[in-house]
A and B are shown apart, each in its own frame.
Chain A
Amino acid sequence: EIVLTQSPATLSLSPGERATLSCRASQSVSSYLAWYQQKPGQAPRLLIYDASNRATGIPARFSGSGSGTDFTLTISSLEPEDFAVYYCQQRSNWPVTFGPGTKVDIK
């Protein structure tokens, strides 16, 4: 099973700042990595698939990069609605696995 590690666990930032979230895989997942955003009481929302492709309707301030074992989700300028938990997920190998999440909260 591929283990995903996310860092940091919590990221405290102010609106307008840049957020950089990391996801590391225990073995290569090629580019088969997705990022999700989850707000309290809501289902996750797909932001990025296949490492760098924005899902439908996702604002351009969200971008993904990386391949192999190291991936990054960048939010270029935080909006108030971006404070949430972010999960990475790989679909390269069965079973599909999720990371433990990074919480982006307001500083």
Chain B
Amino acid sequence: QITLKESGPTLVKPTQTLTLTCTFSGFSLSTSGVGVGWIRQPPGKALEWLALIYWDDDKRYSPSLKSRLTITKDTSKNQVVLTMTNMDPVDTATYYCAHGRGAFDIWGQGTMVTVSS
């Protein structure tokens, strides 16, 4: 059974760096073909894909946010970490991590992040 869970701060100040951790079980990120992505959703709005990391450490980023995002994996800990720099109130959203290579079949519960001074 695959599960994922996001963790990180619920409140960050403008200009700060956000670090979110996705801890998963039921699969290994060292297995060929596996990927983990991050997707966010501002309150009342649509889903927005942010980044994805593959088993071979190939990384993909949203072009509009690429300069602010870094995705990494720790295979031994079964974790994927997303950092987003220079946070702004418009980045207030629920952040999800999800299993998949492009279509995401299993999602975490999400973590709400508010950006406010």
User: Residues of A at under 8 Å CB distance from B?
Assistant: 1, 32, 34, 36, 38, 43-46, 49-50, 55-56, 87, 89, 91, 94-101
Does B102 contact A87, Cβ atoms closer than 8 Å? no
Is B14 close to A, CB under 8 A?
A: no
Binary interface profile of B, 77-100, with partner A (CB < 8 Å = 1, else 0)?
A: 000000000000000000010001
Does A43 contact B103, Cβ atoms closer than 8 Å? no
Q: Would you call the interface of chain B mostly helix, strand, loop, or mixed?
A: strand
User: Residues of B at under 8 Å CB distance from A?
Assistant: 37, 39, 46-49, 52, 60-63, 96, 100-110
Does B103 contact A46, Cβ atoms closer than 8 Å? yes
Q: How many Å lie between the Cα of A55 and that of B100 in the bound state?
A: 12
A92 to B, closest residue via Cβ: B102
Contact of A87 among B47, B60, B101, B110 (CB under 8 A): B47
A43 to B, closest residue via Cβ: B107
* Min C-beta distance of B102 to chain A, whole Å: 3
Q: How many Å lie between the Cα of A69 and that of B61 in the bound state?
A: 24
Given A1-B63, A43-B96, A91-B102, A97:B107 Cβ within 8 A: no
Contact of A55 among B96, B102, B105 (CB under 8 A): B105
Q: How many Å lie between the Cα of A97 and that of B37 in the bound state?
A: 13
30 residue pairs bridging A and B, Cβ less than 8 Å apart: A32-B102, A34-B103, A34-B104, A36-B47, A43-B107, A43-B109, A43-B110, A44-B47, A45-B107, A46-B100, A46-B103, A46-B105, A46-B106, A49-B103, A50-B103, A55-B105, A87-B46, A87-B47, A89-B49, A91-B102, A91-B103, A95-B49, A95-B62, A96-B60, A96-B102, A98-B39, A98-B46, A98-B47, A98-B48, A98-B49
